[in-house]
């Protein structure tokens, strides 16, 4: 009987707590909307500065906004998406551009 090793505490169920399953956060698309006054250069600038897209990718998204009326800038958790929308709106107001930016659940 002396050959048996004592069982570790975690095997006996003492102090063991099961971790709750964490859900992935809901993701939100940040969208730019076309208008007749905001310049294409300004939209590309917003996409490179705020969303950190390359010049090529920013141009592609800008053309999508221009031709389809709306374009996806990125997909983020709620807080990040709301911050990006606020940054775009602030930059648009300070530049006197009517660019509209929204977010929606992915």
DSSP H/E element including 15: none
Tokens representing 56 are 């090529």
Residues present in the chain in total: 106
CATH of 25-105, one of 3.40.190.10, 3.40.50.150, 3.30.1390.10, 1.10.10.60: 3.30.1390.10
Tokens matching residue 59: 């141009």
Please tell me what DSSP assigns to residue 3: T
24-56, pLDDT tens digit by residue?
889 999 999 999 999 999 999 999 999 999 999
Entry pTM? 0.78
Position 100 pLDDT exceeds 80: yes
Give the list of residues 6+ apart from residue 103 with CB closer than 8 angstroms, or none.
28, 29, 30, 31, 81, 82, 84, 85
Residue ranges of the domains in the chain?
Answer: 25-105
């Amino acid at each position: 009987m002396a050959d048996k090793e004592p069982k570790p505490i975690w095997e006996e169920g003492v102090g063991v707590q099961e971790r709750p399953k964490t859900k992935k956060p809901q993701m939100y698309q940040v969208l730019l909307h076309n208008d007749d006054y905001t310049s294409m250069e300004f939209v590309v600038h917003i996409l490179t500065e705020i969303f950190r897209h390359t010049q090529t990718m920013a141009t592609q998204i800008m053309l999508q906004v221009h031709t389809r009326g709306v374009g996806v800038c990125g997909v983020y958790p709620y807080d990040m998406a709301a911050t990006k929308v606020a940054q775009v709106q602030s930059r648009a107001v300070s530049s006197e551009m009517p660019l509209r930016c929204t977010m929606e659940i992915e």
